[in-house]
Homo-oligomer: A and B are copies of this chain.
Amino acid sequence: MSTILIIEDNIDIQENISELLQLSGYETAVASNGKEGVRIALESLPDLILCDIMMPELDGYGVLHILSRHEETLRIPFVFLTAKADKFDVRKGMTLGADDYITKPFDESDLLTAIENRLRKSQSQGTYQNKKNDINALFQNKQIKNYSNKDIIYRDGDTPSYAYFLNSGKVKIQKMNKDGKEVIIELCNDGDFFGYWSILENNNQQDSAEAIEDSEVWLIPIDEFKKNIEESPEISSKFLKLLSKNLLIKEHKILEMAYESVRKRIANALIEMCDKYGEENRLKMKIPRELIASMAGTSVETAIRMLSEFKKDNLIEIHSSEILILDYDKLKNSPF
Protein backbone atom coordinates (compact mmCIF):
# COMPACT_ATOMS: atom_id res chain seq x y z
CA MET A 1 0.00 0.00 0.00
CA SER A 2 1.30 3.42 -0.96
CA THR A 3 1.54 6.35 1.39
CA ILE A 4 0.87 9.83 0.11
CA LEU A 5 1.88 13.01 1.89
CA ILE A 6 -0.37 16.01 1.39
CA ILE A 7 1.16 19.41 2.12
CA GLU A 8 -1.56 22.04 1.96
CA ASP A 9 -2.35 24.96 4.22
CA ASN A 10 -6.04 25.10 3.47
CA ILE A 11 -7.52 22.59 5.91
CA ASP A 12 -10.69 22.06 3.88
CA ILE A 13 -8.79 21.07 0.76
CA GLN A 14 -6.35 19.03 2.80
CA GLU A 15 -9.12 16.97 4.40
CA ASN A 16 -10.99 16.66 1.15
CA ILE A 17 -8.00 15.18 -0.64
CA SER A 18 -7.02 12.99 2.26
CA GLU A 19 -10.47 11.46 2.41
CA LEU A 20 -10.58 10.91 -1.32
CA LEU A 21 -7.24 9.14 -1.31
CA GLN A 22 -8.13 6.97 1.66
CA LEU A 23 -11.30 5.89 -0.08
CA SER A 24 -9.13 4.94 -3.03
CA GLY A 25 -6.98 2.74 -0.88
CA TYR A 26 -3.97 4.93 -0.15
CA GLU A 27 -2.53 5.73 3.24
CA THR A 28 -2.22 9.44 3.79
CA ALA A 29 -0.16 11.81 5.86
CA VAL A 30 -0.87 15.52 6.07
CA ALA A 31 1.04 18.71 6.78
CA SER A 32 -0.36 22.22 6.97
CA ASN A 33 2.74 24.13 5.98
CA GLY A 34 6.02 23.72 4.18
CA LYS A 35 8.27 23.19 7.17
CA GLU A 36 6.03 20.58 8.67
CA GLY A 37 5.81 18.96 5.25
CA VAL A 38 9.56 18.65 4.96
CA ARG A 39 9.83 17.20 8.46
CA ILE A 40 7.16 14.59 7.85
CA ALA A 41 8.52 13.71 4.43
CA LEU A 42 11.97 13.05 5.86
CA GLU A 43 10.54 11.03 8.75
CA SER A 44 7.98 8.93 6.97
CA LEU A 45 9.40 8.77 3.44
CA PRO A 46 6.07 8.66 1.64
CA ASP A 47 5.68 7.14 -1.82
CA LEU A 48 4.42 10.38 -3.31
CA ILE A 49 4.06 13.98 -2.23
CA LEU A 50 1.25 16.35 -3.14
CA CYS A 51 2.26 19.88 -2.32
CA ASP A 52 0.60 23.27 -2.58
CA ILE A 53 2.73 26.04 -4.04
CA MET A 54 1.44 29.08 -2.19
CA MET A 55 1.99 28.57 1.51
CA PRO A 56 3.15 30.73 4.38
CA GLU A 57 6.62 30.25 5.87
CA LEU A 58 8.02 27.84 3.29
CA ASP A 59 6.38 27.63 -0.11
CA GLY A 60 6.11 24.65 -2.42
CA TYR A 61 9.27 25.49 -4.33
CA GLY A 62 11.17 25.62 -1.07
CA VAL A 63 9.85 22.23 -0.03
CA LEU A 64 10.84 20.71 -3.35
CA HIS A 65 14.25 22.27 -3.16
CA ILE A 66 14.97 20.97 0.29
CA LEU A 67 13.65 17.49 -0.38
CA SER A 68 15.65 17.16 -3.55
CA ARG A 69 18.81 17.78 -1.58
CA HIS A 70 18.23 14.73 0.57
CA GLU A 71 19.23 11.40 -0.84
CA GLU A 72 16.26 9.68 0.82
CA THR A 73 13.57 11.96 -0.53
CA LEU A 74 15.18 12.78 -3.84
CA ARG A 75 13.33 10.17 -5.85
CA ILE A 76 9.91 10.56 -4.30
CA PRO A 77 7.47 11.69 -7.00
CA PHE A 78 6.54 15.27 -6.32
CA VAL A 79 3.27 16.72 -7.58
CA PHE A 80 2.36 20.36 -7.23
CA LEU A 81 -1.10 21.58 -6.38
CA THR A 82 -1.60 25.03 -7.76
CA ALA A 83 -4.57 27.31 -7.37
CA LYS A 84 -4.24 29.42 -10.45
CA ALA A 85 -3.90 28.06 -13.94
CA ASP A 86 -0.68 30.01 -14.00
CA LYS A 87 1.61 28.48 -16.61
CA PHE A 88 4.68 30.08 -15.19
CA ASP A 89 4.56 28.79 -11.72
CA VAL A 90 4.22 25.43 -13.37
CA ARG A 91 7.15 25.89 -15.64
CA LYS A 92 9.31 26.94 -12.75
CA GLY A 93 8.17 23.94 -10.76
CA MET A 94 9.00 21.54 -13.56
CA THR A 95 12.38 23.15 -14.00
CA LEU A 96 13.15 22.61 -10.38
CA GLY A 97 12.28 18.95 -10.70
CA ALA A 98 8.58 18.50 -9.97
CA ASP A 99 7.10 15.51 -11.72
CA ASP A 100 3.62 16.78 -12.35
CA TYR A 101 1.15 19.40 -11.30
CA ILE A 102 -2.57 19.60 -10.74
CA THR A 103 -4.56 22.79 -10.83
CA LYS A 104 -7.22 23.52 -8.27
CA PRO A 105 -10.14 23.12 -8.43
CA PHE A 106 -9.48 19.62 -9.73
CA ASP A 107 -11.55 16.72 -10.84
CA GLU A 108 -11.27 13.76 -8.47
CA SER A 109 -10.51 11.30 -11.21
CA ASP A 110 -7.82 13.59 -12.65
CA LEU A 111 -6.10 13.64 -9.31
CA LEU A 112 -6.29 9.89 -8.92
CA THR A 113 -5.01 9.08 -12.38
CA ALA A 114 -2.18 11.58 -12.00
CA ILE A 115 -1.16 9.92 -8.75
CA GLU A 116 -1.40 6.43 -10.21
CA ASN A 117 0.68 7.42 -13.19
CA ARG A 118 3.40 8.91 -11.07
CA LEU A 119 3.54 5.96 -8.73
CA ARG A 120 3.73 3.53 -11.63
CA LYS A 121 6.47 5.51 -13.28
CA SER A 122 8.54 5.82 -10.17
CA GLN A 123 8.33 2.10 -9.50
CA SER A 124 9.32 1.12 -13.01
CA GLN A 125 12.26 3.47 -12.96
CA GLY A 126 13.76 1.84 -9.91
CA THR A 127 17.01 3.37 -8.80
CA TYR A 128 17.76 4.94 -12.13
CA GLN A 129 15.92 8.18 -11.65
CA ASN A 130 17.98 11.02 -10.38
CA LYS A 131 16.68 13.86 -12.46
CA LYS A 132 15.96 16.16 -9.57
CA ASN A 133 19.46 15.76 -8.37
CA ASP A 134 20.92 16.53 -11.74
CA ILE A 135 19.02 19.70 -12.41
CA ASN A 136 19.59 20.91 -8.91
CA ALA A 137 23.27 20.17 -9.21
CA LEU A 138 23.43 23.15 -11.52
CA PHE A 139 22.39 25.34 -8.64
CA GLN A 140 24.78 23.94 -6.07
CA ASN A 141 27.21 26.81 -6.25
CA LYS A 142 24.79 29.43 -7.39
CA GLN A 143 24.93 33.04 -6.39
CA ILE A 144 21.69 34.85 -5.84
CA LYS A 145 21.39 38.40 -7.05
CA ASN A 146 18.48 40.80 -7.03
CA TYR A 147 17.83 43.27 -9.77
CA SER A 148 15.22 45.97 -9.96
CA ASN A 149 13.49 47.43 -12.98
CA LYS A 150 15.97 48.63 -15.63
CA ASP A 151 18.98 47.03 -14.01
CA ILE A 152 21.24 45.48 -16.59
CA ILE A 153 22.19 41.87 -15.97
CA TYR A 154 24.69 41.54 -18.77
CA ARG A 155 25.62 43.52 -21.85
CA ASP A 156 26.17 42.71 -25.49
CA GLY A 157 29.88 42.07 -25.89
CA ASP A 158 30.55 41.03 -22.31
CA THR A 159 32.63 37.95 -21.73
CA PRO A 160 30.15 35.64 -20.07
CA SER A 161 30.89 34.62 -16.52
CA TYR A 162 27.57 33.07 -15.59
CA ALA A 163 24.58 31.24 -16.92
CA TYR A 164 21.41 32.72 -15.52
CA PHE A 165 18.23 31.30 -14.08
CA LEU A 166 15.35 33.62 -13.37
CA ASN A 167 13.84 32.54 -10.09
CA SER A 168 11.32 35.33 -9.92
CA GLY A 169 10.54 38.47 -11.84
CA LYS A 170 10.73 39.37 -15.49
CA VAL A 171 13.70 39.94 -17.76
CA LYS A 172 13.99 41.05 -21.37
CA ILE A 173 16.72 39.92 -23.73
CA GLN A 174 17.45 42.48 -26.37
CA LYS A 175 19.83 43.42 -29.13
CA MET A 176 20.67 46.84 -30.49
CA ASN A 177 21.67 47.83 -34.00
CA LYS A 178 24.14 50.52 -34.97
CA ASP A 179 21.48 53.24 -34.96
CA GLY A 180 20.56 52.43 -31.39
CA LYS A 181 17.31 50.77 -32.31
CA GLU A 182 16.47 47.86 -30.12
CA VAL A 183 14.63 44.64 -30.67
CA ILE A 184 13.40 42.31 -27.96
CA ILE A 185 14.73 38.89 -28.69
CA GLU A 186 12.95 37.18 -25.85
CA LEU A 187 10.95 37.77 -22.72
CA CYS A 188 11.90 35.66 -19.73
CA ASN A 189 9.70 34.59 -16.92
CA ASP A 190 10.37 32.83 -13.65
CA GLY A 191 11.68 29.36 -14.34
CA ASP A 192 13.56 30.40 -17.46
CA PHE A 193 17.25 30.01 -18.11
CA PHE A 194 18.91 32.73 -20.13
CA GLY A 195 22.27 34.04 -21.24
CA TYR A 196 23.75 30.56 -21.64
CA TRP A 197 23.81 30.56 -25.42
CA SER A 198 27.11 32.28 -25.83
CA ILE A 199 28.69 30.09 -23.19
CA LEU A 200 27.98 26.99 -25.21
CA GLU A 201 29.36 28.71 -28.27
CA ASN A 202 32.45 29.98 -26.45
CA ASN A 203 31.66 33.45 -27.54
CA ASN A 204 30.99 36.83 -26.05
CA GLN A 205 27.45 37.76 -25.19
CA GLN A 206 25.61 38.67 -28.36
CA ASP A 207 22.66 40.30 -26.65
CA SER A 208 21.93 42.02 -23.39
CA ALA A 209 19.61 41.20 -20.52
CA GLU A 210 17.74 43.76 -18.48
CA ALA A 211 15.27 43.31 -15.65
CA ILE A 212 11.85 44.80 -16.35
CA GLU A 213 10.65 44.37 -12.80
CA ASP A 214 12.16 43.33 -9.49
CA SER A 215 13.80 39.99 -10.17
CA GLU A 216 15.74 37.35 -8.32
CA VAL A 217 18.34 35.79 -10.55
CA TRP A 218 20.43 32.73 -9.82
CA LEU A 219 23.91 32.97 -11.24
CA ILE A 220 25.61 29.73 -12.20
CA PRO A 221 29.36 30.16 -12.66
CA ILE A 222 30.30 29.36 -16.21
CA ASP A 223 32.70 26.53 -15.31
CA GLU A 224 30.10 24.95 -13.12
CA PHE A 225 27.60 25.21 -15.94
CA LYS A 226 29.91 23.68 -18.50
CA LYS A 227 30.92 20.90 -16.15
CA ASN A 228 27.33 19.98 -15.47
CA ILE A 229 26.44 20.08 -19.15
CA GLU A 230 29.30 17.76 -19.94
CA GLU A 231 28.76 15.34 -17.14
CA SER A 232 25.04 15.01 -16.91
CA PRO A 233 23.08 13.65 -19.83
CA GLU A 234 19.92 14.90 -18.14
CA ILE A 235 21.14 18.45 -18.13
CA SER A 236 22.60 18.46 -21.59
CA SER A 237 19.43 16.94 -22.95
CA LYS A 238 17.41 19.59 -21.16
CA PHE A 239 19.42 22.34 -22.78
CA LEU A 240 19.28 20.69 -26.18
CA LYS A 241 15.52 20.86 -25.86
CA LEU A 242 15.53 24.43 -24.65
CA LEU A 243 17.82 25.51 -27.44
CA SER A 244 15.91 23.82 -30.20
CA LYS A 245 12.62 25.15 -28.92
CA ASN A 246 14.15 28.57 -28.81
CA LEU A 247 15.48 28.18 -32.31
CA LEU A 248 12.07 27.36 -33.71
CA ILE A 249 10.62 30.40 -31.99
CA LYS A 250 13.32 32.58 -33.51
CA GLU A 251 12.68 31.16 -36.97
CA HIS A 252 9.07 32.09 -36.58
CA LYS A 253 10.03 35.55 -35.48
CA ILE A 254 12.25 36.04 -38.52
CA LEU A 255 9.33 35.21 -40.78
CA GLU A 256 7.10 37.55 -38.84
CA MET A 257 9.56 40.42 -39.01
CA ALA A 258 10.09 39.87 -42.70
CA TYR A 259 6.54 39.89 -43.93
CA GLU A 260 3.87 40.69 -41.35
CA SER A 261 2.40 44.17 -41.12
CA VAL A 262 3.16 46.33 -38.12
CA ARG A 263 -0.41 45.95 -36.99
CA LYS A 264 -0.04 42.19 -36.92
CA ARG A 265 3.33 42.39 -35.21
CA ILE A 266 2.00 44.62 -32.47
CA ALA A 267 -0.95 42.27 -32.00
CA ASN A 268 1.45 39.34 -31.74
CA ALA A 269 3.55 41.23 -29.22
CA LEU A 270 0.49 41.74 -27.03
CA ILE A 271 -0.47 38.09 -27.39
CA GLU A 272 3.04 36.99 -26.48
CA MET A 273 3.09 39.16 -23.38
CA CYS A 274 -0.34 37.92 -22.44
CA ASP A 275 0.74 34.29 -22.84
CA LYS A 276 3.82 34.91 -20.77
CA TYR A 277 2.72 37.31 -18.14
CA GLY A 278 -1.07 37.39 -18.23
CA GLU A 279 -3.68 35.19 -16.68
CA GLU A 280 -6.50 33.48 -18.52
CA ASN A 281 -6.12 35.49 -21.71
CA ARG A 282 -6.10 38.71 -19.75
CA LEU A 283 -3.06 40.85 -19.72
CA LYS A 284 -3.33 43.37 -16.99
CA MET A 285 -0.05 45.09 -16.47
CA LYS A 286 1.78 48.29 -16.89
CA ILE A 287 3.68 48.08 -20.13
CA PRO A 288 5.95 50.82 -21.40
CA ARG A 289 5.12 51.59 -25.02
CA GLU A 290 8.76 51.33 -25.88
CA LEU A 291 8.74 47.68 -24.86
CA ILE A 292 5.88 46.92 -27.20
CA ALA A 293 7.54 48.86 -29.98
CA SER A 294 10.81 46.99 -29.69
CA MET A 295 9.07 43.65 -29.51
CA ALA A 296 7.47 44.42 -32.84
CA GLY A 297 10.54 46.08 -34.28
CA THR A 298 8.90 49.41 -34.92
CA SER A 299 8.88 52.96 -33.61
CA VAL A 300 7.13 53.98 -30.42
CA GLU A 301 4.77 56.27 -32.31
CA THR A 302 3.63 53.56 -34.66
CA ALA A 303 3.14 51.18 -31.75
CA ILE A 304 0.92 53.73 -30.04
CA ARG A 305 -1.08 54.30 -33.20
CA MET A 306 -1.76 50.59 -33.47
CA LEU A 307 -2.81 50.45 -29.83
CA SER A 308 -5.33 53.23 -30.49
CA GLU A 309 -6.64 51.28 -33.47
CA PHE A 310 -7.09 48.21 -31.31
CA LYS A 311 -8.86 50.34 -28.75
CA LYS A 312 -11.20 51.69 -31.41
CA ASP A 313 -11.91 48.13 -32.57
CA ASN A 314 -12.73 47.11 -28.98
CA LEU A 315 -9.93 44.58 -28.87
CA ILE A 316 -8.20 46.19 -25.92
CA GLU A 317 -8.80 48.78 -23.22
CA ILE A 318 -6.20 51.23 -22.04
CA HIS A 319 -6.35 52.54 -18.51
CA SER A 320 -3.59 55.05 -18.04
CA SER A 321 -0.65 52.79 -18.66
CA GLU A 322 -2.33 49.46 -18.08
CA ILE A 323 -3.45 47.49 -21.09
CA LEU A 324 -6.34 45.07 -20.84
CA ILE A 325 -6.99 42.58 -23.62
CA LEU A 326 -10.72 42.28 -24.27
CA ASP A 327 -10.81 39.87 -27.18
CA TYR A 328 -7.81 37.58 -27.11
CA ASP A 329 -8.93 35.35 -29.96
CA LYS A 330 -9.84 38.13 -32.33
CA LEU A 331 -6.57 39.88 -31.61
CA LYS A 332 -4.67 36.67 -32.22
CA ASN A 333 -6.41 35.43 -35.31
CA SER A 334 -7.75 38.32 -37.30
CA PRO A 335 -5.96 38.30 -40.61
CA PHE A 336 -5.54 42.09 -40.97
Contact = CB atoms under 8 A, between A and B. Distances in A.
Contact of A177 (B179, B207, B245, B260): B260
A280 interface: no
Interface stretch (A99-107, A116-124, A193-201, A316-324): A193-201
Interface stretch (A57-65, A135-143, A248-256): A248-256
Which among A179, A244, A248, A260 has the highest number of chain B CB atoms within 10 Å?
A: A244
Interface in A152-187: 175-179, 181, 183, 185
Interface stretch (A18-26, A72-80, A216-224, A232-240): A232-240
A203 interface: yes
A159 to B, nearest CB: 15
A259 interface: yes
A206 B175 contact: no
A271 to B, nearest CB: 16
Interface residues of A, number: 47
Nearest to A296: B258
Contact of A257 (B206, B245, B257): B257
Interface in A65-85: none
| Main DSSP-derived SS at the A contact region | helix
Given A203-B248, A250-B251, A251-B207, A179 B259 contact: yes
Interface of A: 175-179, 181, 183, 185, 196-203, 206-207, 229-231, 233, 236-237, 239-241, 243-248, 250-260, 297-298, 335
Nearest to A230: B233
A198 B244 contact: yes
Given A201-B245, A239-B240, A247-B247, 5 more contacts: A175-B255, A177-B255, A185-B251, A185-B254, A207-B251
13 contacts: A177-B259, A183-B255, A183-B258, A183-B259, A200-B241, A201-B244, A201-B248, A206-B252, A207-B251, A243-B244, A243-B247, A257-B258, A259-B297
A196 B240 CA distance: 11
A175 B252 contact: yes
